[in-house]
Structure 1
Amino acid sequence: MAQSTLSAAMSAGPWTKVRPAISPWILQALERMEFAQMTPVQAAAIPLFLTHKDVVAEAVTGSGKTLAFVIPILEMLQRRETPLKKSELGAVVICPTRELAEQIATVFSSFLEAQPAEEGATSTPNRGVQLCVGGTNVTPADDDRVFREQGPDILVGTPGRMEELLKKPGVRTAELDVLVMDEADRLLDLGFAAPIRAVLGFLPKQRRTGLFSATMTEALTELVRVGLRNPVRIVVKVEAKRGSIANDIRMPATLQNFYHVARPENKFAQLLRILQHEASDAPRKSIVYFATCAQVNYFFALLARESKAGRWTQGLQFFSLHGKQSTKRRTSTFHAFTHTGSAQNTALDSDIAGAANACTSVLLCTDVAARGLDLPDVDLVVQYDPPSDPKVFSHRCGRTARAGRTGRAIVMLHAGREENYVEFLHVKQLPLQRYPYLLQNDLCARSVPGDEPALDDLARALEKALHTLIRQDRALYEFGMRAFVSWAKAYSKHEVSYIFRLAELRLDHVACEFALLNLPLMPEVARWRESNKEQASLFVDAMPDLHTFAYADKQREKQRLASLERKDERPAPAPKPQREAWSEQKRRKEVRDLRREKKERKRDWQAQQPPPPPASDEDDWGAEERAAKKLKQGKLDSASFDAAFFDSL
């Protein structure tokens, strides 16, 4: 495989330098989108595609990979000698998530809107792009109907739904020019290997193929060997010099990467301080990553309730996004966060927590928003929970410092063993700087760097304030218990298990971090209690009375009370019959054995008795009576009866 390694400079020259040259209408569209210069990955990939090469591009996040395949696809389709028929496909783009597919389809549409009706005698106007994803109200039958009616040249979608459409008899792929797999390693990580192979089976082998990703895995290398013909590999990386040694860093050059260390009981307070401190100079957009969907639900609900008071979250506006939300809610949240502060913000009120005039918009999310998505103007990324898969670390950080913008990323670690994660990332060519512990007189005041105190009074005050909110709504209590359990299970399955060991953490202090009223009943907690009986703790296990603990939602509380009433009216279940004592069971068995023994002795005695004497006359009368009955029933004939019982004359 050929290989081309490019420097870190974000500018690789004007678009007019590309050879073969790009069409004028595409250059005009790029100028309107304010993309004046190419990035290195674009400068390398576009000419290769246009000269009929297969491409494997590995580039840092935010390096412009989307335009690196969108532009050559449009160019190749319009340069076809024979136009595509309505039932024929020209290009297929496969993505791992709905959001990424929608984003790429939007980019295609932006270019196609600028496409002139007639570009020239040899050009072929593109008929458009079709989005093909699951998890929406659009069914596979709807996809087939849209394809037959509109006949798009470009198909963008997720693997499963793409397979459903390509196997329809009316979809012809023999004339397909190019296949692109974006975030290709993620496609394989999510278990899409089978549908991807099925899609490849529908496509012609004489095609151009492009794989784009920020990281390269062994599975992706195997896919390269199977699906590409003599591809050219493009690697875009950042080069940092220390002394005379050059190190390859897989991060954008404009990204500042930090790590923050705090004891578990102070971690959540530090999160709010970091968000406020980073926004003290200018309004910002921030993303906070959690390990599980339950954590996102819990902390969003908690902060939504606290934001009504506004003391601890002043100036912050929160959004939530995770993979278990409905498609409608995910779409509305994504749109609302993207257009924060603009007139286009039409998100549902339930998806947003905080003041509308807040200076910082904060998206609480899981790794569903970690890869591929272009979230504009994100200045800060906070990894509240380090990712289970180390490869995801750089993808999370890559949501900021995109396309040459500056950005900051912070990973939050518990004091102790987790601090070894910094050295682990350094070995992975991801160097981090220390972010200071923040101190202040009040959480809504300006924070100042300092050392972590032995007892952070304001963190304890925040915890007590959150306890007060939780006691007012049983739903928050239940969210918190689910969040803690899901976090503990995810933490125990961390791939870097020699660093992230649940047994090494003070679970009582982590309970303070979650603002729990009591620790849940689970094996991990039971083992921790058994091994830490003598340790003093900040945590006070205050189990609420679940019989009287009410929901703030009136309808839900009404249902809970009705359930309790039905339970009280239900007759008590009949007591289960008690099993006999072991001694009584043993006595019964001895009686059965004794009876069996007596029967066996009787059979033995009867077998030893002499045969009975010859039958007497009385016995003959009984035999004659029995024979007479058989004669009457027709079972014995008269001749036989007479021969047996009468003398012949």
Structure 2
Amino acid sequence: MFRRQADGLDLIGAVKTLDVLILDEADRLLDLGFEASINTILGYLPKQRRTGLFSATQTQEVENLLRAGLRNPVRITVKEKGVAATSTQKTPTRLQNYYLVCKPDEKFNYLVSFLRQKKKEKHLVFFSTCACVEYYGKALETFVKNVKVMSIHGKMKHKRNRIFTEFRKLESGILVCTDVMARGIDIPEVNWVLQYDPPSNASAFVHRCGRTARIGNQGNALVFLLPMEESYVNFLSINQKCPLQEMDDFKCTVDHLPKLQTMAKSDRAMFERGMKAFVSYVQAYSKHECNLIFRVKDLDFCALARGFALLKMPRMPELRGKDFSDFVPMPIDTDSIPYKDKNREKQRQKMLLERKQKQDGESRKNFAKNKSWSKQKVKKEKKKKMALKRKHEEGSDIDDEDLNELLHDTRLLKKLKKGKITEEEFEKRLTTAGRSEGGSDASE
């Protein structure tokens, strides 16, 4: 906008009287690679101004920006009333922070059971990827009845505002989301923030929790951890000054995964969502910033696939060379699974037909290539006979028996070309030791 002077927009002139500059979510602006742009913008602004940078998590990069763009910077830390100034806890005391350790193939069961027990409350459920939101959002619509379940992620362009506005007005419900909802979002009276997948960086954990216990209200947050991830609790306590307590009194006895598999078997859209979600989860896991705790090589892929209720293991580089003996694929031809949406299924069948016709065409071409092998053999035989004939004409010592054999093979070749005999018959007669058949050929 500063550079669009040719369009009649004189922003540079307009900011000459600027008094206050605010950068919200300052640490994230730098994470996203906007540092150079922000520094350029600062160059257009008057030096005499008041500047405020706001974030729930301040980093060293923000300190660097302070030195680059401000004079005499002062750091102000906001504490809640009644808490000692020496307290190092970053999250408010009104926020109860819990963690739950469960195996990969138990995670979804715990989530469903938890949401069913708290139907009258308002929940944000965070996942690591858009594909996971698409998959589990649809699943929860089926498993948590009589509750409004909505989904939102960064790839939604036009629906996001409508979904967000609608969810804000609800007294109870479930919003399945990615970190697009982790910052700068105010939703009234959120009771629980559930982190089904821990975030890719530690500061995002604090921001996610910050969607509840806002403006003096009580709130709760729960993160689901795999057994190998339990050391993340100590890491958050030290790195983010965010203590967690274990939710060890919550039990789950119902297995919902067979029903989720049935959904995948009856609707191709659900089957494909599950496969994409699994792949995206593994890829996101491999890029986790805290890779000393979240190590993709330590994942139990078989248990993870069962937890996603997959019908079969997908093909992806991260799984190459792994042992999947503990995963039993469903005895079903996944290509035969139809879409519930009749128009999509009609389109798919049309595509399959076109693909089959193309393959048939390629098969015919391949058959023609195979056929040419025998033709090449015939060509060699013909060449050989022609050489013998030339030798005979040149007065070589070829005898009458060889000449008869030559005539016999030439007649066979003519019959093959006219389609009077098959290639198999041609081969058989060509290799026959006796020449009695040759006599009959001559008589014919």
The TM tier, using the shorter chain, reads 0.7 to 0.9
How far is the alpha carbon of 1:419 from its aligned partner? 0.9
1:190 maps to which of 6, 16, 32: 32
Aligned residue runs from structure 1 range 378-527, under 5 A: 378-415=190-227, 417-428=228-239, 429-436=241-248, 438-439=250-251, 456=253, 458-459=254-255, 462-527=256-321
| 1:180, distance to aligned residue in structure 2 (A) | 0.5
CA distance in 2, matches of 1:218, 1:564: 55
Match of 2:400 in 1: none
Larger radius of gyration: 1
Q: Quick one: which amino acid aligns to residue 572 of structure 1?
A: G
Q: 1:316 aligned to 2:181?
A: no
Q: Shift of residue 206 of structure 1? A: 1.7
Residue in 1 that maps onto 2:62: 220
Of 191-200 and 389-398, more deviation after overlay is shown by 191-200
Does residue 331 of the first structure (1) align with residue 173 of the second (2)? no
Structure 1 residue 485 displacement after superposition? 0.4
> Is contact 1:261-1:437 (8 Å) kept?
no
1:263 aligned residue: 103
Q: Find the aligned partners of 1:379 and 1:431 in 2 and give their Cα distance.
A: 19
State the Cα RMSD in Å: 2.7
CA–CA separation in structure 2 for the residues paired with 1:379 and 1:544 = 42
Q: Secondary structure at the match of 1:211?
A: strand
Q: Distance in 1 between matches of 2:104 and 2:177?
A: 20
CA distance in 2 between partners of 1:179 and 1:257 (Å): 34
Q: Which amino acid aligns with 1:523?
A: P
Aligned match of 1:36: none
Q: Distance in 2 between matches of 1:504 and 1:258?
A: 24
- Aligned residue type for 2:218: T
Counterpart Cα distance in 1 of 2:55 and 2:3: 22
Q: Helix, strand or coil: the match of 2:270? A: helix
Paired with 2:244 and 2:343, the residues of 1 have a C-alpha distance of 49
Please point out which of 234, 258, 268 is paired with 2:76.
234
Cα 1:166/1:370, change in 2 over 3 Å: farther
Matching residue within 544, 548, 558 for 2:336: 548
Measured in 1, the distance between the counterparts of 2:87 and 2:45 equals: 40
Tell me the amino acid that sits aligned with residue 266 of structure 1. E
1:12 is matched with none
Count of matched residue pairs: 365
1:542 counterpart letter in structure 2: M
The answer for the alignment partner of 1:170 in structure 2 is 10
Unpaired stretches in structure 1, ≥5 consecutive residues: 1-160, 307-311, 342-359, 441-455, 581-649
Q: Would the alpha carbon gap of residues 234 and 319 (structure 1) be closer, same or farther in structure 2, given more than 3 Å must change?
A: same
Instruction: Quote the residue 1:302 is aligned against.
Output: 139
The 2-side partners of 1:241 and 1:227 are apart by: 32
1:506-561 Cα offsets, whole Å, 9 max, x none, are: 211111211111111123223331xx65xxx3x42126424422111111111111
Say which SS state the counterpart of residue 230 (structure 2) adopts.
helix
More strand by share: 1
Contact 2:39 2:69 (8 Å CA) reproduced: no
Q: Deviations over 1:415-468 (max 9, x none)?
A: 2x211111111222211111125336xxxxxxxxxxxxxxx5x22xx1111111
Answer yes or no: is the 8 Å Cα contact 1:249–1:430 preserved in 2. yes
Over 3 Å counting, the alpha-carbon distance change for 1:463 and 1:218 in structure 2 is same
Taking structure 1 as the reference length, the TM-score comes to 0.53
Native 8 Å contact 1:237 1:248 kept in 2: no
Q: Is the 8 A contact 1:323 1:366 kept in 2?
A: yes
Matched, 1:374 2:216: no
Give the partner amino acid of 1:511.
A
1:239 and 1:339 map into 2 onto residues whose CA distance is 29
Residue identity opposite 1:405 in structure 2: N
Measure the CA separation in 2 of the matches of 1:543 and 1:205. Answer: 70
2:121 maps to which of 275, 284, 296: 284
The residue that corresponds to 1:33 in the other structure is none
Give me the identity figure in percent. 43
CA distance in 2, matches of 1:439, 1:178: 53
Give the conservation status (yes or no) of the 8 Å contact 1:276–1:316. Answer: no
Identify if the C-alpha distance between structure 1 residues 330 and 568 changes in structure 2 by more than 3 Å, giving closer, same or farther: same
2:66 alignment partner AA: V
CA contact (8 A) 1:260 1:412 kept: yes
Q: Quick one: distance in 1 between partners of 2:284 and 2:210?
A: 23
TM-superposed CA distance for 1:240, in Å, is 10
Q: Is the 8 A contact 2:209 2:221 kept in 1?
A: yes
Q: Shift of the alpha carbon at 1:198?
A: 2.8
Matched, 1:273 2:61: no
